[in-house]
Amino acid sequence: MKRRFFLKFGLSASALSFIKPSKAIDNLHGFTSNSDSIVKPIVISTWEHGMAANENAWDILSANGSSLDAVEIGVKTTEADMTNRSVGIGGRPDLSGQVTLDACIMDSNSNCGSVACLEGIKHPISVARRVMDDTPHVMLVGQGAKDFALSCGFKHIKSPIKEVKKEWREWKRGNKEKFKKPIINSENHDTIGMLALDANGNLSGACTTSGWGYKLPGRVGDSPIIGAGLFVDNEIGAACATGLGEAVIRISGSHTVVELMRQGYSPQEACKETVSRIISKHKNLDGLQVGFLALDKKGNYGAYSVFNGFNFALKKVNKSSLIDAEYNRRW
């Protein structure tokens, strides 16, 4: 896993009060545009693993498919990658050696579905979609989520996989003290969060992770929590988060980003302001990496993180790239 490095960027929260509502502003990396044209379809997703995920999402989007199908198919790519240690069955386990998965999905009609602490299922995002499509509920957790998945025909898969179990045993041996209490370590977690705007102008998002490696059993992060790890409002925009979930939950991070866009912040500035809220709520920022990604109704996008090292994948017509996000400080 890559180390995430940081650079000090001096715009304070108070400086943001100078941003005029209803005007998307150009920023240093040109993430946002001040033109009135709409860029669609478009898909963005967190981290380098988003590159492959975007390609599969693009197959749907470029064929005039829905953003909902695109984000589900897209993040399944990462869930299926058994070499990925932070998403899906190939992810790191909790302290007791069990891999538990968190995921959620949200569409342009504000329908949403979520699973948390789900064990032994390859595609938690598809179970989350079934919760959304086939039940009156939003969220199922633990054994209830597992039973529901099995009843829908999802197969049980044994986890952790051999390599991960070996790594966990070694970690346990070398970290007797840490084993008693999880430590914040930005090296051992990640998420794929994906946001898409389809050709019909509809937004959807998906988010899936194995969470904080060697977490306390039963721990649930931000990723399956609507409003924290993901939020979509089809009138305004969509946002998702990656990083230390506890910090994201504390400020309802993704919902905050979308609400700031509603007030006229560009996606970039909304992510930046939300990061500055996280910073202001924590005296100790050791290991506290959080990054936000946002996409608005016009296809403008933005990203910002506490520390350097966060990147995201972008795919639109004639363009596919991995972009370094701006950040508040260096590690």
Binding mask 265-304 for ligand ASP (x = CB under 6 A): ----------------------------------------
Nearer to ligand ASP, 90 or 245 (CB): 245
79 contacts ligand ASP (rule: CB under 6 A): no
Reported as type and span, the H/E element at residue 19 is: none
Smallest distance, Å, CB 233 to ligand ASP? 21
Amino acid at 7: L
What residues form DSSP beta bridges with 319? 316
221 contacts ligand ASP (rule: CB under 6 A): yes
Nearer to ligand ASP, 208 or 266 (CB): 208
* 191 noted as active-site residue: yes
Nearer to ligand ASP, 61 or 293 (CB): 293
54-73 residues in contact with ligand ASP (CB under 6 A) are none
Reported as type and span, the H/E element at residue 273 is: helix 267-281
Q: Tell which one of 56, 204, 223, 254 touches ligand ASP (CB under 6 A).
A: 223
Q: Tell which one of 100, 108, 114, 191 touches ligand ASP (CB under 6 A).
A: 191
Instruction: Find the catalytic residue in 32, 77, 100, 191.
Output: 191
Alpha helices (H) in the chain, listed in sequence order: 50-61, 67-79, 124-134, 142-151, 162-174, 176-180, 245-250, 253-262, 267-281
Q: Three-class SS of residue 325?
A: coil
76 contacts ligand ASP (rule: CB under 6 A): no
Reported as type and span, the H/E element at residue 222 is: none
Structure tokens at 62: 């470029």
Smallest distance, Å, CB 189 to ligand ASP? 4
Q: Tell me the site size for ligand ASP, rule CB under 6 A.
A: 13
DSSP notation for 142-187? HHHHHHHHHHTTPPB---S-HHHHHHHHHHHHHTHHHHHS----TT
Report the Cα–Cα distance between both ends of the chain, in Å, rounded. Answer: 15
Measured CA to CA, the distance from residue 267 to residue 278 in angstroms comes to 17
Q: Tell which one of 41, 113, 211, 237 touches ligand ASP (CB under 6 A).
A: 211
Amino acid at 251: I
Distance of CA 135 to the CA centre of its chain: 24
Nearer to ligand ASP, 67 or 209 (CB): 209
Smallest distance, Å, CB 19 to ligand ASP? 27
Q: Regarding beta strands 301-307 and 319-324, do their DSSP bridges make them parallel or antiparallel, or are they unpaired?
A: unpaired
Q: Regarding beta strands 192-197 and 203-209, do their DSSP bridges make them parallel or antiparallel, or are they unpaired?
A: antiparallel
- Which stretch in 50-58, 108-116, 183-191, 321-329 sits in contact with ligand ASP by CB under 6 A? 183-191
Smallest distance, Å, CB 223 to ligand ASP? 5
Smallest distance, Å, CB 188 to ligand ASP? 9
| Distances from the Cα of 65 to the Cα of 85, 113, 198, 261, angstroms | 30, 20, 7, 26
Nearer to ligand ASP, 24 or 303 (CB): 303
| Distances from the Cα of 70 to the Cα of 43, 49, 64, 287, angstroms | 9, 16, 10, 33
Smallest distance, Å, CB 308 to ligand ASP? 15
Measured CA to CA, the distance from residue 257 to residue 232 in angstroms comes to 10
Q: Tell which one of 69, 72, 222, 326 touches ligand ASP (CB under 6 A).
A: 222
190 contacts ligand ASP (rule: CB under 6 A): yes
Binding footprint of ligand ASP on the chain (CB under 6 A): 189-191, 209, 211-212, 221-223, 242-245
Catalytic residues: 191
